[in-house]
Amino acid sequence: MKRNRVVMGMPAGYLIVAVISLLFCPGVRAAPVATTAPAAEYYVAVDGKADAAGTRDAPWDIASALVSKYQKIEPGATLWLAAGVYKHPDRTSAGRGYMVRLTGAEGSPIVVRPVPGARVTIDGGLRIDNGTAWLWIRDLEIMVSEKERTTKVAGSNAADVPRPWGGLEIVGASHHCKYINLVIHDNNQGCGFWKPATDSEVYGCLIYDNGWIGPDRGHGHCIYSQNLDGIKTIADNILCTKFAGTYAMHAYGSARADVDNYLFEGNIAFDSGPFLVGGGKPSHNIRVLTNFLYNTGMLIGYNAPENEDCEIRGNTIVNGSLSITRYKQAVSEDNLVLGAGAARPHGALAVLRPNKYDVRRANLVIFNWKRAPAIDVAGAGFIKDGEKFRLMDPKDFFGKPIFEGVCRGGKMTVPMKKEKKAGEFAVFVVLK
């Protein structure tokens, strides 16, 4: 039975008062790196060697370590990457970056991450291969340094783009993997999260300014995904596209491709092409919960003759629309949908979502309906009185903070002025 209470304005039962609303999500708590103590710690460096010992003083090279080519990296181990730029040698349009093939175990994932305090940049991309399982990759920057991204060839497979593909391509038969708090930008595509990867998660990633320009339109989405078995979870990512014709979310396929069994939760997409979930083949078990879109629309269903079931609940869509197409069973509740030019509520809506894997970090999205110069955001469950915080630009995460402050009276005061004018929308990564 379809229950659809969404209107182009305020949904029934939605109450906005002239104070800040804080949506704190219970159950979003910090998680440990692994459920058991690491069995071992190994080290990788830009100038590492395949035949080294894998210690801090004698690190491995990245290419052999990520596929455990000469070294056996056992479940529960942590692979620490030293600071620096790891530039893949293939700089052609066929270049897909460093292959990853590591196998952990349930309760003992292999974790790949920077050494504490280090900025680690993968220039050229990562490609997840067959046989990968119980792997966590976190806190890396993935980009392509070549700036030129124009082609004379139309379509989505232009071979003359003079740069590697880059991005995070999860293409192999893998399972129970997590890709956490990655910064993915200036690739041909941000993340390809494909059908062979099952029961895996893309979480807390900052994905922006990917794609290229063809003679027909822009190409390359923030996330392009298909799925059949297991649940793909795409949660708490911040998404922004660069070129017209590209999508913030492109969970899509033709009449022969599967778009089933998804959970989309807590994602923030702004100034982007649509947030699309659907294709030419009927979809089922689609859950889209508590996402936040600004200057971006949401499309659930595409051109399949009919779809099975979806739950679209608690989303906020401003300067965009919500379309749910040809579903036999659709629950659509508590969604706030405000088209461009629609009357705004009073006050402001501030949503703080603590990071599930990093207790020092949260995403903050603010809808500043009345253009107040500053907004007070309650920090319950994340930050305490006297603790300092920094507001980081999601598109300049490694740059200088936009603002630094101290929590007072249980609140963070967030300035909303930009170039002497208070904006209606803002998104930050908050660091304690």
| Per-residue pLDDT tens over the stretch 372-385 | 999 999 998 999 99
pTM across the whole model: 0.91
* Total structural domains within the chain: 1
Quickly count: other Cβ atoms within 10 Å of residue 131's Cβ.
13
Question: Does the structure show a pLDDT above 50 at 225?
Answer: yes
Asked if residue 381 is part of any domain, the answer here is no
Q: Closest by alpha carbon to 348, among 294, 424, 404?
A: 424
Show the tokens assigned to 285. 């078990």
Phi, psi of 112 (to 5 degrees): -110, 120
Tens of pLDDT, residues 275-292: 999 999 999 999 999 999
What domain range is 120 assigned to? 41-338
Task: Determine the average pLDDT of the residues in 16-25.
Answer: 35
The CATH number of the domain where 230 resides is what?
2.160.20.10
Asked if residue 310 is part of any domain, the answer here is yes
Ranges 19-28, 100-109, 227-236, 417-426: which has the least confidence: 19-28
> DSSP state, 60?
B
Tens of pLDDT, residues 336-388: 999 999 999 999 999 999 999 999 999 999 999 999 999 999 998 999 999 99
Question: Does the structure show a pLDDT above 70 at 119?
Answer: yes
Asked if residue 363 is part of any domain, the answer here is no
Mean pLDDT value across the chain: 91
Asked if residue 144 is part of any domain, the answer here is yes
- Predicted pLDDT of residue 421: 79
Show the tokens assigned to 241. 């596209």
Q: Does residue 171 or residue 160 have the better pLDDT?
A: 171
Asked if residue 349 is part of any domain, the answer here is no
Q: Does residue 24 or residue 41 have the better pLDDT?
A: 41
- Predicted pLDDT of residue 37: 54
Q: Where are the beta strands (DSSP E) in 315-383?
A: 316-318, 322-324, 327-333, 336-338, 348-354, 361-367, 374-378
